[in-house]
Structure 1
Amino acid sequence: MSDQNTATQPSTSVLSKLRAFLKSSLFAKSTIILVGTLIIFLICAAAITPVRYQLSIGMVPPHTIAASRDVVDEITTEQNRVQAALAITPTYRYQEGITDQVLHQLEAVKAELDGVRQYAMTLPDYGPTRHYSAQELQEAGDMITLATFRDFQLITLMNASQNSFEELFASLTQAVRNTMQGHITQGQETIAISSIMQIIGYRTSVSLLQNVALPVLQAIIMPNMVIDEEATAQARQDARDAVEPVVYKQGQNILVRGTGRIKANELEMLNTLGLLSNNRVDYLPYLGTLGVVFLSLLAMMVAMRLLWPRLFNRMPSLILLYMVLILVCALCYFFKAIQLPYAAPLVLMPMLIVLLMGAIPALLATVSGAIIAAFMLGTGGTSPQEMYTLLTMFLLSGAAIITILGRRTLRSMIFVAGLVAAIVSFLTVTGIGLVATVDRSVLLERALWAGAGSMISALLCLAIQPLLETLFNLPTPNRLYDLSSPNHPLLRRLMLEAPGTYHHSVILANLAEAAAEAIGADALLARVGAYYHDIGKLKQPLWFRENQIGTSNIHDGADTKTSVSMITGHVTAGLALAKQYRLPYAIQQIISEHHGSTLVSYFYSKALKESSSDNVVVEADYRYPGQKPRTAESAIIMLCDTVEAAVRSMPSLAPHEVRRFIGDLIKGKVDDDQLSDSPLTLRDLDLIREACATVLHGVFHERVEYPAPPQHTSLRGQLMGALSGTYPAARRPRKQDDDTPTKQST
């Protein structure tokens, strides 16, 4: 039984780890990345998949078909190579001893012919006009082995006189010797024989010349200049190799609709490209596409991890990034399908991402997206020069978009950015086209479509950006501007139901904005976060001192635990209100972190004084149950919130005293370990101190005390003098509730 329990424990542990991994954020983020990459790959694969045609030789082309990549016209190339090889003259070499061999052969043939003549003389009734039987001619022919004689030639030989025969061979011997002294080229033996026949023809009868001399010469004449087979084969191979392949470049038309008839070489090229209906699927282009997509997105994610790690903090940001990439790839596929690649709205990507996420992710996504889109639009039917043009156009116009919208994010600037991108796209396509000597009419059409694509991107951005902004509840500048309006329901309630808190939030917003600008954080987010950081006080506004106008302090009659629970509870209540009104997550984070886990020191000290041996005070019960600040904006609001409340209790507001006091407050937060999770540096803390001191000096600045008006002047005269400038206005006494420093707000 114990063995079974021991065996089941490891399996249970593995399953629990697997369940934990499947529920983890790492698994969710990995799934988003993998699914997004797969969808982008499928879109790119669909874009590079060629249309297949059913064609045959002799058909009139029903479509205009361009080469999807560089392809060699193998049939035409082979024909050109064969012609080049045949045009090469054979290489000859002189063969020694051929003359002696031919003369020796001539003597041997003469000996056989002498034997035939001797045989004829032994026959009865031999004479110059004798007729021979077939058997006699057969026996005579069998005696000749070195030459070929027909019956009529044998008759001429056997009936010739001895003198004629001897004179013939004497002439042949001399003529052959003289002819063989020259060059007899292989394949030109007939020319040599004709030359010898002409030389001996003057002294030889026609019958002996044609019937005896000709077959003898045909049997003995051999060339002394023979073909060098190895050298000739090498020369012909060199000629074949020198022939350049006939190549149809990517984008070049193989067939033109309605022009001519389809030839064998054209059909073979289409077959090589896999554009015929009976072709098998070539998986290599899809593997290449997968490699381009995977490496581009991998480089983007690695760069994001290094330069903009906040992308991985929240899954909605990751989902948004891939949604924009998928949307733009789908639009590029659509524009390629309608054969308008230059009008593809790729700059929609930097427009949306810079407005929704920021300049750094927009720049990184633009580089990867431009590579993928240029590959997708430039594969299959376009030249590498067009792919380079598309890539350059997308990168330059995207950089222009990020430069403009990265600084001014108002929606009115989207159209301006689109116009600038259109000009950049037009000039880029025109410039590269002029260098590449593209046809002027084609170049102008491409440049106009490129500009139109940027304007289309601007229009799509105006329509899509608000939808994504609302769907993902993003703290975009436009959204933050809307939230900063005093007419927002929460701010309106805060102004009417908790005016003291509202006044505190306004001053805090000024402090936070100045501090954020000083250290390079998001100043607009800091300001708007300050407006909403205390909205939880709307639940019980009178429990907070700044809202107790004209009433007694409600904490005087409450025990410390109740007071602490009411005070610290405004963080949870504020977070609930923020979710109810769908405030962006960044503002919700500020609400939950602006107090961190700080100690409510006033009530903690009071509890210690009231404690007894039976009632032990636990410090953790008097701390905020929140998360420590994890962003620069949350940390800034924590510090500025403390500074704004505490400075009011200072007896002296001299600038150097304020700076020293603010430094002590910041040091207290550092010593309390409240800033350990924030990205602030010591230099940032110094800059925050200076920014807060400068703003507070403006808030609590001194005024000149005006003298009282003369006593004899009537009230009407005093008022008229004040209005006309004759008398200075009387200084209004300071009110305790407005300007007099008070104790630190709880």
Structure 2
Amino acid sequence: MKKKSAFNFGKSFQQMKGFKFYHIIIYCLLGVIMFGLMYSNVKPDEINVSIFSNAEKTIVAPHNFEDREATAMLRREAADGVEDQYRHDREKVIQQAERVHKVFDVVEEVQEEIQTIEKPPEQTTTEEADESQEEQVAEPVALTDEEKLSLLKENLVGQVTDDWKKAISDEDYMMLLKMNKAELTTLRNATVTAINNAMSKKIRLEDDVKAAKNDAVQEMQVYGNLPMNVRNIGISLANLAIIPNVIYDSELTQDLRRQAEDTVEPVRISQGDTIVKAGQFVDREKFRILEAAGLVNQSNSITPYIGLAIIISLMVTALAYLFRGIDTSIHSKNTYLTMYLLVFSITLLLLKIFSLFQTLNATEIGFIAPVAMGAMLIKMLIDDRIAIISGIIFGICGSLIFNTVPGAMNYTVGAYLIISAIASVLFLNQHNRRLTILQTGLFVSLINVITVIAMMLLTNRDLSGVSQWLEIGTHSTMAIGSGVVSAVLTIGILPFFEVGFGMLSTMKLLELSNPNHPLLRKILMETPGTYHHSVMVANLSESACEAVGANGLLARVASYYHDIGKTRRPHYFIENQMGRSNPHDKLPPQTSRNIIVAHATDGAQILREHNMPKEIVDIAAEHHGTTLLKFFYHKAKEKNEEMTEEEYRYPGPKATTKEAAIVGTADSIEAAVRSLNNPTPDKIESIVKAIISDRLQDGQYSDCSLTFKELETVGKSFCETLQGIFHSRIEYPDATKKKGDDE
């Protein structure tokens, strides 16, 4: 009953693998498993903290972040420390001097106008007097001081401001009008010079204005060629003209304040920094930092899960891309995906289990994680490229699984896991014995120790203390354990995949090549000639496959079993007759044909009954393809001219892999060469070329991927191997004859 249930489960599983969207289901399962195992590593800690209370536990920063409020406060302080900026407006002195010039210009213009009005009429001749005797002669007009002052003030309108007009007394105006041009020019120059000299300095405050005016007064007083009352007019004008010449520069002030703000470094809180210690009072400042870190009211935050989902999606997408180009000549892509899902899940689960022993004081427990196990299994069962990419994915997942703060990544452990996994893939290039896996584990241990020491040296640690050397020793021990444990687990887990999925790994092939295998012993005991023939075919096939990049070990092992069908009727095959009469001499050609052809199908059936790998079964069934039994065909043709070749051909199928094609060719070549009485290199080469050419023309290579170039390489390999087997030997004298000669 149990056997039936197991059979039904296996049948159901095979049907499920044939489902159209099976690969999508596997990718989704990969994502779900990764998310489920890393969910707790990104889930924010539940922190019950409130302002003006004592913290229940020590709270550390979950990630690097900037304290924006503290940074803004420091920048405001830096900007406030920059004083208002002022600039010396040199155009002020020009403007004020121009006003003084306008006063003197107006005075000179009014003087000219007064002269024109008061100018006496010119003397005329007698003739002119006679002609204009009827006209009245204009009398000269003398203007009063009030009229002159009024005329001056009218002309000053629009030239100077009212405060200037009011600041100069009428007496000063009249004094200016009575001065000659030279005196006005001297006073003008003295006043403008005093203003220029006084305003060449920065004048900002009221005290600065007073000082500048005093300087102008002192300078005016040195002009001794001007009367005191005249100099006072210049002093009055200078006092009016001297004003503040420093103005507020808002643009410069803002630039300097921005520069001061830029010099302030942002206040950053590093991941792992302690924000509040257990039992410490949480004041406003501490609570504000907790809010900035996102530790307050974070139970409803979904951003960590979104980030995790995105990372997982990228990794699954990369795997899907790699699996698109995987070789499916041996197993289907769905079979490989199923194995990958199991290996990946086991590896990730082991990482998660080891992370449970992690504490804040021993964060490097990840150094013992056997990540190389997953990489080696994927390489041996699936593909090298996928194994390397998987090593990188293991490292990324490990950096999250072995983190100390939710959502953070432990880059040290992540890099260590990547190096460890890739090292195992690169070293495991010839896994022909179980011992090689152990050697790979030791090599990975060495690489792990070197990596751990390098990472510790990168942190610039002081290695003079005993504790530091003790730490190095502890980490190195874990690194060695990682490699050894990975190798042991790989050897232990690999057989389950080989049996469960019918995988033909190298170790499985080596086990099948053991002479003590029941089927090989059956061949040896029942068909010794066939056994010897199979060994010769194995030698030929292995070297030829390796020459064209095919699986030489598979070809060798398949050659051992390819003629096992002959064990059902061993004496009907010439290599097993051992001097006996040939039974085919007494049989009709059709019966002989049936017996000979049946050994391929019988062999495949026997191998299937013993649960042999599909690759070996296929080679046993395909090694003759649809070739013609020429001897019996021609024998039948002699009796019946209407006999067709199709009746005397093997049922096939043709070889679908390089290994099957090479084993079939080697089978024919070995039998042909063995039939030669004196096989010379030329004869061997001639037979090899003839058989390969005959099979090529017969279309026996049409279903496999062998190229013409590879067929040429295969032929050369066959010739070299056969010449080594059938090389010429030294002819030793007969032992009896030698004894007689000695006597």
* Residues 244-270 of structure 1: CA deviation (Å, up to 9, x unaligned): 3322223434344x3633444554555
Which residue among 257, 275, 282 is the counterpart of 1:254?
A: 275
Pick from 513, 519, 528: which aligns with 2:557?
Answer: 528
Structure 2 residue identity aligned to 1:460: L
SS of residue matched to 1:677: coil
Q: Does the alignment pair 1:695 with 2:721? A: yes
The equivalent residue for 2:379 is 354
The question of whether the paired residues in 2 share the 8 Å contact of 1:184 and 1:224 is answered with: no
CA separation of 1:590 and 1:61: change in aligned 2, threshold 3 A: farther
Deviating more after overlay: 552-561 vs 458-467: 552-561
| 1-structure distance, mates of 2:415, 2:379 | 20
The structural deviation recorded for 1:300 is 4.5
**Paired position in structure 2 for 1:646:** 672
Select the structure of larger CA radius of gyration: 2
Q: Is the 8 A contact 1:183 1:224 kept in 2?
A: no
Q: Which residue of 1 aligns with 2:501?
A: 472
Contact 1:597 1:626 in 2 (8 A): yes
| Cα distance in 2 between the residues matched to 1:288 and 1:379 | 18
1:316 equivalent to 2:310? Answer: no
Alignment partners' CA distance in 2, 1:617 and 1:59: 104
Range 622-631 or range 83-92, more displaced: 83-92
What corresponds to 2:712 in structure 1?
A: 686
Q: Choose the corresponding residue for 2:615, options 568, 586, 605.
A: 586
Alignment CA distance shift 1:626-1:303 (3 Å): same
Report Cα offsets for 1:332-370 as digits up to 9, x if no partner.
233344333333322222222334446454334334444
Task: Determine if contact 1:65/1:255 at 8 Å carries over to the other structure.
Answer: yes
Which of 590, 613, 623 is the aligned partner of 2:649?
Answer: 623
- Equivalent pairs: percent with the same residue? 32
Matching residue of 2:546: 517
Given the alignment of the two structures, is residue 538 of structure 1 paired with residue 567 of structure 2, yes or no? yes
Q: Cα distance 1:275–1:183, how it changes in 2: closer, same or farther (>3 A)? A: closer
2:323 touches 2:333 (CA, 8 Å); kept in 1? no
The answer (yes or no) to whether the contact 2:530–2:575 under 8 Å persists in 1 is: yes
- The equivalences for 1:82-161 within 5 A come to 82-90=76-84
Instruction: State the shift of 1:395 in Å.
Output: 3.8
The farther-off stretch of 617-626 and 468-477 is 617-626
Q: What's 2:582 paired with?
A: 553
Residues 375 and 47 of structure 1: CA distance in aligned 2, closer, same or farther (over 3 Å): closer
1:564-616 deviation line (CA, Å, top 9, x unaligned) = 3333333333223223322223222322322222233333333433336xxx6
CA gap of 1:324–1:94, structure 2 versus 1, over 3 A, is same
- TM-aligned CA deviation for residue 533 of structure 1: 1.2
Which position in structure 2 is the counterpart of 1:69?
Answer: 63
Distance apart, 1:487 and its partner CA: 0.9
Please report how far the alpha carbon of residue 620 of structure 1 lies from its aligned counterpart in structure 2 after TM superposition.
Answer: 3.6
- Matched to 1:68, the amino acid is P
Distance 1:709 1:52 in 2: 95
* In 2, Cα distance between equivalents of 1:79 and 1:182: 32
Name the CA distance, whole Å, in 1 between partners of 2:607 and 2:293.
60
Which residue identity does 1:327 align to in structure 2?
Answer: I
Deviation at 1:663, TM superposition (A): 0.8
Matches within 5 A, 1:666-681: 666-681=692-707
Q: Which residue of 1 aligns with 2:438?
A: 415
The equivalent residue for 1:660 is: 686
Shift of 1:313: 4.0
Counterpart in the other structure of 2:659: 633
Q: Is the contact made by 2:315 and 2:393 (CA closer than 8 Å) also made in structure 1?
A: yes
Q: Structure 1 residue 637: deviation in Å?
A: 0.5
Look up the equivalent residue of 1:35 and give its one-letter code. L
Q: Offset of 1:674 from its aligned partner?
A: 1.3
Q: Which runs of 5+ in 1 are unaligned?
A: 1-20, 97-180, 186-222, 712-717, 728-746
User: What's the secondary structure of 2:281's corresponding residue?
Assistant: coil
What whole-Å deviation, never above 9, does each CA across 1:80-120 have from its counterpart, x for those lacking one? 34544554445579999xxxxxxxxxxxxxxxxxxxxxxxx
- Alpha carbons of structure 1 residues 488 and 53: separation in structure 2 relative to 1, 3 Å: same
Deviation at 1:537, TM superposition (A): 2.5
Offset at residue 239 of structure 1 (A): 4.6
Give the superposition deviation at 1:425.
2.1
What residue in structure 2 maps to residue 48 of structure 1?
A: 42
2:453 to 406, 413, 430: 430
Q: In the TM superposition, what whole-angstrom CA distance separates every residue of 1:45-67 from its partner, at most 9, and x where no partner exists? A: 45433333322335544444443
Q: Deviations over 1:494-515 (max 9, x none)?
A: 1122222222111111211222
> For residue 535 of structure 2, what is the amino acid of its counterpart?
V
CA distance in 2 between partners of 1:272 and 1:27 (Å): 46
- SS of the counterpart of 1:254? strand
**Residue 216 of structure 1 aligns with which residue?**
none
Q: What's the Cα RMSD here?
A: 4.1
Distance 1:92 1:705 in 2: 117
Check conservation: 2:400, 2:408, Cα contact below 8 A.
no
Looking at structure 1, the residues matched to 438 and 575 of structure 2 have their Cα atoms a distance apart, in angstroms, of: 46
Q: Rate the CA distance shift 1:652–1:26 in 2: closer, same or farther, 3 A.
A: farther
Give yes or no for the alignment of 1:498 onto 2:527: yes
**Which among 595, 605, 609 is matched to residue 576 of structure 1?**
605
Distance 1:660 1:84, change over 3 A: same
Matches of 2:272 and 2:621 in 1, distance apart?
59
1:489 shift after superposition: 0.8
Partners of 1:456 and 1:365 lie apart in 2 by 19
Cα distance in 2 between the residues matched to 1:269 and 1:559: 99
Letter in 1 for 2:518: P
SS at match of 1:347: helix
Q: Distance in 1 between matches of 2:26 and 2:512?
A: 30
Residues 519 and 684 in structure 1, CA contact (< 8 A), matched pair in contact too: yes
1:323 maps to a residue whose letter is L
Aligned to 1:166: none
Distance in 1, Cα, partners of 2:628 & 2:19: 32
Q: Deviations over 1:301-350 (max 9, x none)?
A: 54565585658745433322332222222222333443333333222222
Write out per-residue CA displacement over residues 511-550 of structure 1, whole angstroms, 9 at most, x where no aligned residue: 1122223333322221111111122223333443333345
State which of 480, 483, 498 in structure 1 corresponds to 2:512.
483
Distance of aligned partners of 1:604 and 1:514 in 2 relative to their CA distance in 1, 3 Å threshold: same
1:523, 1:590 → 2: CA distance? 13
Post-superposition Cα deviations, 1:424-445, rounded to whole Å, max 9, x if no partner, equal: 2222233244234367668736
Distance 1:651 1:356 in 2: 46
Q: 1:689 to 1:79 in 2, by over 3 A?
A: same
Could you tell me how far 1:618 is from its partner in structure 2? Answer: 4.9
Which whole-Å CA distance do the structure 1 matches of 2:407 and 2:653 have between them? 56
1:250 partner amino acid: Q
Indicate the residue corresponding to 1:406 in structure 2: 429
1:280 matched to 2:300: yes
Q: Shift of the alpha carbon at 1:483?
A: 1.1
* Counterpart Cα distance in 1 of 2:245 and 2:702: 102
* Residue equivalent to 1:9: none
Structure 1 residue identity aligned to 2:30 = G
C-alpha distance in 2, partners of 1:706/1:25? 68
Structure 2 stretches lacking a partner, 5+ long: 1-14, 93-202, 208-243, 359-364
The 8 Å contact of residues 354 and 402 in structure 1, kept in 2 or not, is answered as yes
Change (3 A) 1:447 1:78: farther
Match of 1:463 among 492, 500, 507: 492
Q: Does the Cα contact within 8 Å between 1:332 and 1:345 map onto a contact in 2? A: yes
* Residue identity matched to 1:675: Y
CA contact (8 A) 1:534 1:591 kept: yes
Deviation at 1:484, TM superposition (A): 1.0
Tell me the SS of whatever aligns to 2:433: coil
Distance in structure 2 (CA, Å) of the matches to 1:574 and 1:47: 55
Aligned partner of 1:178 in structure 2 is none
> Contact (CA 8 Å) 1:72, 1:269: kept in 2 or not?
no
CA deviation map 1:384-435 (0-9, x unaligned): 7x52x44543343334323432124422233332232222222223324423
Aligned-pair CA distance for 1:233: 7.0
The answer (yes or no) to whether the contact 1:88–1:236 under 8 Å persists in 2 is yes
CA distance 1:182–1:83, change in 2 (3 Å): closer
